Structure 1
Amino acid sequence: MFSLDQTTSAKPQVVLEFQAIILAGNQGNIYPLAADDNLPKALLPIANRPMIAYPLQWLEATGIQNIIVAICSSSEAKLTHYLRNVYEGSAHIDIVTVDEHFSTAEVLRYLAPRIFQDFIVLPCDAVANPQTAYPQRFLDSYRSANPALTALFYEPPKSEGGGGSTKDSEWPLYVGLDATQQRLLYMRPGDRVKEALNLRMPLLRKFTRLNLVTHLQDAHIYVCKKWILDLVVQKKELTSFQKDVLPLLVRAQCRPSLLETEGISAIMDAARQRHKYNQSVHEWSTTVADDPMEPELRVNLYIASSGFMGRADSVPHYCDLNKHASRLFPDDRVAKSAEINSRSQIGADSMVGNLTKVDERTSVKKSVIGAHCVIGKNVKIVNSVLMDYITVEDGAKLDGCVICNNAKIQAKAQLKDCEVGASLVVDPETQAKNERIVSSFIPSGEEGMQVNFG
C-alpha cells in the first residue's frame, strides 16, 4: 500500500491470487472514542468517512475482491449494517464474528478454514488517500521477490498537536534492513531496549549492508504465503502476528537452527509438495511464481516513501489523521447541505459535515466537524474533532478536543485537550484541561445537584 506517488482513474483488474483479512474486532487503545455508547473503532470517522472505508478502498484499488472482515459481537450490528447497506464498494465481503479477546494470530487461526491462498492482513485503522494511494507497487514487490512475507512500513506524519487528554509516549522502532534486497532483518521496539541493541554476528556477516533506522513504523499490513497461516495454526503459543510471528520469521532468516526447532522447514517443505501436486493436477495455477517460495526464507519490507499514510491506533494519532486526511478532499470541505452563517469563519484546513449549522461570529480552524451538529454564536473550535449530532452553545471554546456523538457543550464552557464521551453534557462555563469526561451521574438532593465525572 501507499506508494502515494501514483494516481490512476483506471478500473483495476480483478485479482484472484490473494485473499484479504481486515482486523476490525479489537477496539484498541482509543477509549472513550470506541465505546458501546458511541461507535466501534472501525466506524469512527476520519475526515467524516468511516475508518474502515480506507482499507476497503485500498484493497479494491488493487482489484482484490475477496475480503474477510473480522469483527466482535459488541460491534456486530453496527458494522454489519454499514458493510451490507452503506458501503458502496464492489468487493465480496465476508463478515466473521470472533472473540473480542482474540489477538491477531488467534483471529487468523480461527479464520484458517476460510483462507485458501496467499493472503493480506491489515488493520481497520490504516488510513491513506483512497484516491491516489494506488498500492500496486507494494503487491508487485511481493510478486517480483517472491518472499515468505512482505511487510509495509511508513514514515509517520508529523503531529500538529491536539488530540485529547492522552499523550503518547512515542518509543522508536529499531528496524534493520538491507535496502538493496528489500530485506527486513531486525525489529526491536524502543521500550524493550534497556541499554544497547544486541545484533548477532551471523546476521552481520550475512548482511554486510544492514542499515539500522528509527524513523519508520510498522503499518501492520502484511502480504503472506499461505504456509505462514499453517505455521500460525500449528504453533498455538504464537498470539500476536506483529510481536510473535513476524519477529520469529525475521530471526529465522539468519538462524538455521530456528527453522528446524520451530518447525518452519517442515511447513515450507509441505507447502512445496502441495504446490507441485496442484501443478500436476491443473494445467494452470493462480500463483505468480513457478515455485511457491524461494529455497531461502525471505522476509521483505516495502517502504511507503511518499504521500500520506498513518494508523489511528491511539487518540492523538486519530486526531492527527483527521487533520491530514481532511486535506485529501478539498471539494468536500464544507458539505453542500451545511448552513454556514456568512459572518462565521471556516478555515481552509477544516471540514464541516452534512446538515450542520454554524452560527455567526464562530471560528473553526484545523478541525473536522461531523454531520447534524449545531454550533452556536461566538464559538471557537481549534485543532478538534467533533463527531455527529453535537451541540456547542454560544461562547464555548474547544481547543485540541475530541467530542463523541450526541454530546452537548453548554454556553461558555472552555475545554482544552479533552475527550468528551458520547451523549455527555458539559455544564455552562465549565473550564477543563487534559480531562477525559466519559460518563456522568447526576443525583439531585436537598442541597442541589452534583456532577461526577468518571
Structure 2
Amino acid sequence: MTGSILGHNMGINCELVPVVMAAGKGSRMTELTAKRPKCLLPIGNLPMIYYPIALLERSGFHETLIVVQESSKTEISGALEKCGLKIKYDLVGIPGDEEWGTADSLRHLHETGKIATDVLVISSDLVTDLNLDPLIDLYRKKDASVCGLFAPAPASPIITTPGPKSKNKSERDLVGIDPDTSRLVLLASASDYETCLSLNGNLLKKYEKFSIYSKLLDAHVYIIRKWLCQYLGYNKDLSTLKGEVVPFVVKKQSKVNKPHTKVDDKASVIGADIKTELSHFAQEDELTLKVRQMSSFTDNRCNPVYSGDTVRCYADILKDSEFTIRANTLQQYCVANRMVLQHWSALTNGRELVNVSPLAVVSSTQLDSTSCIVAENAKISEKTSLKNSFLGAGVAVSPKSVVQDSVVMMNAKIGQGCKIYNCVICEDSTIEDNCELKDCIVGSQHTVVASSKHSNEVLTVIDRLMEF
C-alpha cells in the first residue's frame, strides 16, 4: 500500500462517519419483503446489505453506523455476523411504525449524539464495484457542503421481470452539473416536468454553462456537512434526503449572495422562517475565509473562488465502474442476482466464491456449479436440473425438477417433477409436485397446489396481498 493511499485511509475515519440506511420497508417490492427486511433479501448467497458495507471496507473505513428498524435489529445483527465483515458496525434502531425518510434518520442520529463529524450516507440497496476515493477527494478539494455520487445508467440485460406483465418505468432524474467545476446546480425528478423545464434566472446568471443529464443513476451516496445535520434538527419539515434536502440546498446555492450579520447563538433564529436561514448554519470560520482571500486559487475565470458561496454542492460521475446498480425495485433486484457472479470478486473484495456449500447435500449430476449457488443444508435430489439459480439455506428440491434463472429463498420446498423458470420463490414456501411456474413470484409461506400451471403471477396468501 502506498503512503498516499495509507494517509487517505487513515484520515478518512476522522473526517467522516458512514451511515448505511437499511430501514427501508421495500415498498417497491412488497411481494418479497412481507416476512423479512429489504436489506436482508439475498443477492447471490449474501444479504443485500453486505455489498454497501463491503464498499466501505475497500474505501478504507473501519467503523459505520447502520440505521435499521428497531424490530429488525436482532435479525439483521445475526445475518451480519455470518458475513465475516472486518468493519465495526453499530446498529441504530428507529421506530418501525412511522414512515421515516433519510433526513428523518439523520435528524435522529444528530439528536442522539451519534454524529460528531461530517457524514457519508449510503443506501443498503447499492451494489457496485466502485471505490469512494474520487468522491471523497472531490469533497475535500471543493470543501463541499453536499457531494453526491452518480453513475451512467447501467445497460441491464434484457430479462423478464417476474410477476404480472407491466411496463417497467424507471424513475429519471434531471441532473445539472457544471463541467468545469463539477458543481451540482440542478437536481429534480423528471416526472415533475411534463414537457418544459423552466430554469431560474439566478441559475442562468450564475452558471454560464452546465450540462443537464437525464440518464444518470443516483447512487444515493452523499457526503454532507455536520452543520446540515444540525440544520435538519431545526427544520423538521424536510423528511427525505434526495427528494427534499439536496434539491433544497442546491437551489439555495444558486441564489445571489447577500451579506448577512454573523449570529453566534443558533437559538436566536427560532421563531424565524428557518428555511431562509440555511446560510447561518453554513457560516465559515474567520481563519478559513482569510486564507481563501489570500490564496491565488480559483475555480472559475471571472468570479471569486467558489463564486463567493458558503453553500456549495458538487457531483461526481463514476467513470471506472463496471457494475453499479440500485436493487430498489423488483426488476433491478432480479438484474442484480442475474449478474452478481460475473462481478463477484470486485463486489466482494476478493471474497472466495463457494458455489456449493460443503454442508449441502447434492445428489444431482445436472447442477451447473458455475452459474448456481447452493447454500448450507440445501438438499438437491437426483435427476434435478439447476442452472443460473440461487438456492438458499435449507431449500429442498425433489427429483425430476428443473429450476432455471430463479431465486429460491431459505427453507422453500420444491416438489417432484416441477418446472421453475425465471421465478422468485420466497422463504418457507412450498411448490407441490408437477407444478409449472414461469415468470412468477411465490410469497413467503405460500403453498402452490400440485399440478398447477402459472405464468406472470404473484402467488401469495390473499390477506397478505391486500396488505401490499
What secondary structure is seen at the aligned counterpart in 1 of 2:343? coil
Separation of aligned partners in 2, 1:259 and 1:28 = 45
What secondary structure is seen at the aligned counterpart in 2 of 1:69? strand
Paired position in structure 2 for 1:237: 237
Paired position in structure 2 for 1:34: 33
Aligned match for 2:150, one of 135, 149, 153: 153
Separation of aligned partners in 2, 1:229 and 1:11 = 24
Paired position in structure 2 for 1:438: 460
Separation of aligned partners in 1, 2:213 and 2:151 = 12
Deviation at 1:341, TM superposition (A): 4.0
TM-score by length of 1: 0.83
Unaligned runs of 5+ in 2: 261-274, 290-306, 346-352
Deviation at 1:193, TM superposition (A): 1.7
2:92 matches 1:96 = yes
For 1:162, the aligned partner's letter is T
Separation of aligned partners in 2, 1:308 and 1:294 = 38
Aligned match for 2:331, one of 316, 325, 330: 316
Aligned match for 2:74, one of 56, 74, 77: 77
Paired position in structure 2 for 1:290: none
Query: Identical aligned pairs, as a percentage?
Result: 25
- 430-439 vs 224-233, which deviates more? 430-439
Q: CA RMSD in A?
A: 3.1
- The question of whether the paired residues in 1 share the 8 Å contact of 2:420 and 2:436 is answered with yes
Structure-2 change in CA distance of 1:384 and 1:296 (3 Å): same
Paired position in structure 1 for 2:141: 144
Paired position in structure 2 for 1:63: 60
Superposed CA deviations along residues 384-413 of structure 1, whole A, max 9, x for unmatched, are: 211112221222122221111121111121
What secondary structure is seen at the aligned counterpart in 2 of 1:89? coil
- The question of whether the paired residues in 1 share the 8 Å contact of 2:39 and 2:49 is answered with yes
1:159-238 aligned within 5 A: 159-165=157-163, 167=166, 168-238=168-238
2:109 matches 1:111 = yes
Separation of aligned partners in 2, 1:323 and 1:34 = 19
- The question of whether the paired residues in 2 share the 8 Å contact of 1:12 and 1:61 is answered with no
- The question of whether the paired residues in 1 share the 8 Å contact of 2:282 and 2:310 is answered with no
Superposed CA deviations along residues 131-152 of structure 1, whole A, max 9, x for unmatched, are: xx33222212222222111111
Deviation at 1:105, TM superposition (A): 1.0
Deviation at 1:173, TM superposition (A): 1.8
Separation of aligned partners in 2, 1:125 and 1:66 = 19
For 1:33, the aligned partner's letter is L
TM-score by length of 2: 0.80
Deviation at 1:177, TM superposition (A): 1.4
Aligned residues: 416
What secondary structure is seen at the aligned counterpart in 1 of 2:445? coil
Separation of aligned partners in 1, 2:147 and 2:246 = 10
Aligned match for 1:272, one of 277, 282, 285: 285
Deviation at 1:311, TM superposition (A): 1.3
Separation of aligned partners in 1, 2:41 and 2:395 = 16
Aligned match for 1:17, one of 15, 18, 37: 15
Structure-2 change in CA distance of 1:387 and 1:12 (3 Å): farther
Superposed CA deviations along residues 135-178 of structure 1, whole A, max 9, x for unmatched, are: 22221222222211111112343143233216532132222212
Deviation at 1:48, TM superposition (A): 0.9
- The question of whether the paired residues in 2 share the 8 Å contact of 1:22 and 1:121 is answered with yes
2:315 matches 1:298 = no
Superposed CA deviations along residues 282-306 of structure 1, whole A, max 9, x for unmatched, are: xxxxxxxxxxx98442211112222
Superposed CA deviations along residues 9-43 of structure 1, whole A, max 9, x for unmatched, are: 999547221111111112122212222xx321121
For 1:54, the aligned partner's letter is Y
- 117-126 vs 54-63, which deviates more? 54-63
2:45 matches 1:52 = no
Structure-2 change in CA distance of 1:9 and 1:362 (3 Å): farther
- The question of whether the paired residues in 2 share the 8 Å contact of 1:370 and 1:387 is answered with yes
Separation of aligned partners in 1, 2:94 and 2:243 = 20
Structure-2 change in CA distance of 1:431 and 1:350 (3 Å): same
Separation of aligned partners in 2, 1:429 and 1:178 = 60
Paired position in structure 1 for 2:300: none
- The question of whether the paired residues in 2 share the 8 Å contact of 1:355 and 1:372 is answered with yes
For 2:285, the aligned partner's letter is R
Deviation at 1:274, TM superposition (A): 11
Structure-2 change in CA distance of 1:256 and 1:275 (3 Å): same
Separation of aligned partners in 2, 1:366 and 1:294 = 55
What secondary structure is seen at the aligned counterpart in 1 of 2:104? helix
- The question of whether the paired residues in 1 share the 8 Å contact of 2:253 and 2:309 is answered with no
For 1:95, the aligned partner's letter is L
Paired position in structure 2 for 1:425: 447
Structure-2 change in CA distance of 1:54 and 1:218 (3 Å): same
- 118-127 vs 10-19, which deviates more? 10-19
